[in-house]
């Protein structure tokens, strides 16, 4: 079956712009999480969505937001982009919110802010 699909794969934005990233989870998976990876901070948790509700949020400013649709697809948005937002954004899905579920990651979206 298809894995976690993220679009776009690569994008370049200018400071001050906003960006929307999309994630389609594995079919049947209802929990979607987002992570940011940078060389300095490593992999950091952004937020998790389940049943169209944000269930958990990491330590990121309010410029980072997201949502989940009824088909479990998720989008994340970053407004007023800063140079430091340049990163690999990874989406992950799991079947449900039980911890004893394997988490699968997509290929990521590489964002460059100039």
Pairing mode, strands 42-50 and 10-13: unpaired
Instruction: Determine, following the binding rule CB under 8 A, whether residue 105 of this chain makes contact with another protein.
Output: yes
How many Å apart are CA 51 and CA 53, to the nearest integer? 5
How far apart are CB 68 and another protein at their closest, in Å? Answer: 14
Pairing mode, strands 104-105 and 87-94: antiparallel
Task: Return the range that interacts with another protein (CB under 8 A); candidates 13-21, 63-71, 78-86, 106-114.
Answer: 106-114
Which one among 26, 29, 32, 33 touches another protein, defined by CB under 8 A?
33
How many Å apart are CA 61 and CA 94, to the nearest integer? 25
Which one among 19, 68, 72, 108 touches another protein, defined by CB under 8 A?
108
Angle formed at CA 10 by CA 105 and CA 61, multiple of 5 degrees:
70
Which residues sit at the interface with another protein, rule CB under 8 A? 31, 33, 35, 37, 42-43, 45, 48, 55-56, 58, 88, 90, 92, 97, 99-108, 110
């Amino acid at each position: 079956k298809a894995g976690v699909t993220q679009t776009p794969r690569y994008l370049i934005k200018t400071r001050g712009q906003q960006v929307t990233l999309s994630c389609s989870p594995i079919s049947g998976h209802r929990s979607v999480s987002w992570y940011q990876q940078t060389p300095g901070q490593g992999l950091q948790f952004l937020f998790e969505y389940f049943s169209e509700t944000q269930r958990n949020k990491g330590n990121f400013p309010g410029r980072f937001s997201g949502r989940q649709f009824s088909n479990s697809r998720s989008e994340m948005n970053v407004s007023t982009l800063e140079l430091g937002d340049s990163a690999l954004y990874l989406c992950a899905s799991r079947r449900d919110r039980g911890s004893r579920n394997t988490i699968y990651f997509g290929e990521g979206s590489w964002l460059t802010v100039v």
